């Protein structure tokens, strides 16, 4: 991960109206402490806990068991009694700081909310230092989910993406150390690191699958968030990888360039986009929604929903489709909701992640950090998509070979061997046109011949053994096929051509 966290929330319980860009954020658990709470800038730096947040400060009172002015608060009497008894009778000296941090962590865990989190002073400082010093890591958004660390989405062109990590992969261990039960912030501290260093993740893909190891070399995380290209028939494809501080300006530049090239239709792609800044999501949604129509709704604790509406600013005037998947989360879902319900833009792909809450981060006086879910956001029509996601108008699934596990190049596969990894390799070979015979996990002569044909194509030593460069070559060929034969993108083009009349 590139060392972000899972900060998925909106914050701001008292603000009204559309604020200037940069004040309201959709966070993902941040790369840095700040990202850890703010989350989006991550795409450039670390592993995120993706979240939607705004920039309002909240007042958080830290109550010490030694503070006599609060002893009359009856709800804390039991806590004070337990603390005093522990300090008085425990057979050894106690670490007061660790005990208090543990109590706070316990309160957070008792909420049962994976998006609320607490970082001790040491954890906050370590994460903040590691993130502020560089934008290096593996490049993936993560969150804690039911005791496991779940990959929300790898960042485009990041080491995590190149290694084959996918949304919903579960990270079981880091460098052989189990991380089950850890918070996302604790996991980030193990996963992130300097460029050139390596980390080995044990990953489970699917509930019944066996874990497999993925060795990833950390690198600088790309900061570009908008990628544009002109496809056939003057249909533009713009992929937005996150909603960061400069994404809106990047998008305007991309739109200008596509318009110069004669854009007649536009595919907006937010697949595997875990979210980012709320203001950015609002500004981008505004490009596609008519003036005074709803963009989204914000509902703070105890308040009625506050409705945000589109302005009279610049608008995209060509037909549009939006491509989504289960890695589209938070800010991506705000855009998807606005386009689906207020702009009647067709959504194509698979159901989105389902992140509809807002978190407020707060630095405590001692340097620790508390992040609590403080609000929820709704679609223009008032739908709460939390843990539900947004359904596409046209469902187009990924091909089965897009979900195959990573193959370890250090493991040699040869004739006569049988294993689940060999079966995955056979599926890959079949997908890219090298027929391995029966796809049964047995490395027989047909499998060997398929590997030899692949080695010949890649100008590698032809020995029929699958390992090293041959394994890397196989996975690269599959990655190219997934990119070039993209059924969701092809369907989006088909829909646009019908609208344009081509």
Instruction: Catalogue the active-site residues.
Output: 330, 341, 355
8 A C-beta contact, residue 327 and residue 353: yes
DSSP state of 374: E
Nearest 10 degrees: CA dihedral of 214, 215, 221, 224?
-50
Sign of CA dihedral 149, 154, 159, 161: positive
- Could you tell me whether strands 347-349 and 320-324 are parallel, antiparallel, or unpaired per DSSP bridges? parallel
Neighbours of 49 (CB within 10 A): 39
8 A C-beta contact, residue 294 and residue 342: yes
Residue 410, burial from CB neighbour count under 10 angstroms (0-12, 13-18, 19+): exposed
8 A C-beta contact, residue 186 and residue 253: no
SS (H, E, C) 99-159: HHHHHHHHHHHHCCCCCCEEECHHHHHHHHHHHHCCCEECCEEEEEECCEEEEEEECCCCH
| Tokens 């608008």, located at residue | 315
- Could you tell me whether strands 47-51 and 27-29 are parallel, antiparallel, or unpaired per DSSP bridges? antiparallel
In order of 10, 73, 77, 90, 405, the CA distances from 80 in angstroms are: 33, 10, 5, 15, 50
For residue 82, give the nearest of 97, 70, 65, 68 by alpha carbon.
65
Token representation of residue 382: 């008032």
| CA 451/CA 262 separation, integer angstroms | 44
Sign of CA dihedral 138, 141, 394, 496: negative
DSSP calls for 293-350: SEEEEEEETTSPPEEEE--SS----S-EEEEE-TT--THHHHHHHHHHHTS-PPEEES
For 493, the enclosing helix (H) or strand (E) is helix 487-500
DSSP calls for 54-99: -------PPPPTT-GGGTT-GGGHHHHHHHHHHHHH-SS---HHHH
For 230, the enclosing helix (H) or strand (E) is strand 226-230
For 160, the enclosing helix (H) or strand (E) is helix 159-162
| CA 431/CA 423 separation, integer angstroms | 12
């Amino acid at each position: 991960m590139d060392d972000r966290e899972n900060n998925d929330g909106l914050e701001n319980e008292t603000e009204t109206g559309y604020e200037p860009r940069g004040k309201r954020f959709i966070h993902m658990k941040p790369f840095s402490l700040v990202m850890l709470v703010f989350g989006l800038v991550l795409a450039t730096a670390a592993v995120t806990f993706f979240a939607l947040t705004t920039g309002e400060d909240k007042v958080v009172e830290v109550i010490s068991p030694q503070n006599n002015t609060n002893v009359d608060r009856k709800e804390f009497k039991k806590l004070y009694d337990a603390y005093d008894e522990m300090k008085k009778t425990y057979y050894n000296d106690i670490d007061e700081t660790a005990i208090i941090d543990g109590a706070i962590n316990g309160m957070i865990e008792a909420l049962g909310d994976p998006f609320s989190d607490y970082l001790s002073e040491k954890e906050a400082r370590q994460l903040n230092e590691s993130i502020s010093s560089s934008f290096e890591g593996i490049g993936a958004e993560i969150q804690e989910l039911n005791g496991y660390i779940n990959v929300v989405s790898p960042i485009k062109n990041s080491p995590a993406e190149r290694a084959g990590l996918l949304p919903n992969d579960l990270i079981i261990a880091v460098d052989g150390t189990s991380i089950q039960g850890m918070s996302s912030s604790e996991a980030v501290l193990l996963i992130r690191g300097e460029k050139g260093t390596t980390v080995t993740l044990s990953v489970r893909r699917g509930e019944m699958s066996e874990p497999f190891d993925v060795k990833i070399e950390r690198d600088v995380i790309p900061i570009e968030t908008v990628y544009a290209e002109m496809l056939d028939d003057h249909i533009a494809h713009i992929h937005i990888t996150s909603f960061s501080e400069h994404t809106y300006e990047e998008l305007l530049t991309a739109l200008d360039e596509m318009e110069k090239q004669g854009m007649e239709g536009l595919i907006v792609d937010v697949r595997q986009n875990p979210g980012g800044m709320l203001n950015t999501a609002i500004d981008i949604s505004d490009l596609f929604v008519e003036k005074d129509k709803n963009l989204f709704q914000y509902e703070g604790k105890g308040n009625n929903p506050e409705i945000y509406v589109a302005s009279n600013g610049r608008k995209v005037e060509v037909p549009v489709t939006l491509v989504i998947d289960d890695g589209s989360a938070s800010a991506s879902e705000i855009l998807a909701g606005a386009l689906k319900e207020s702009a009647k833009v067709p959504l194509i792909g698979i159901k989105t992640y389902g992140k509809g809450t807002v978190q407020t981060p707060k630095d405590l006086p001692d340097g620790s950090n508390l992040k609590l879910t403080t609000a929820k956001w709704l679609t223009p029509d008032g739908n709460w998509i939390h843990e539900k996601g947004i359904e596409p108008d046209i469902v187009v699934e990924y091909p089965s070979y897009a979900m195959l596990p990573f193959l370890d190049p250090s493991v040699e596969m040869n004739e006569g061997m049988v294993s689940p990894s060999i079966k995955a390799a056979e599926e890959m070979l079949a997908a890219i046109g090298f027929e391995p015979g029966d796809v049964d996990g047995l490395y027989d002569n047909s499998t060997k011949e398929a590997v030899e044909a692949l080695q010949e194509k890649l100008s590698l030593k032809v020995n029929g053994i699958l390992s090293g460069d041959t394994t890397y070559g196989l996975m690269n060929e599959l990655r190219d096929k997934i990119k070039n034969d993209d059924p969701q993108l092809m369907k989006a083009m088909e829909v646009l051509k019908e609208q344009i009349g081509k």
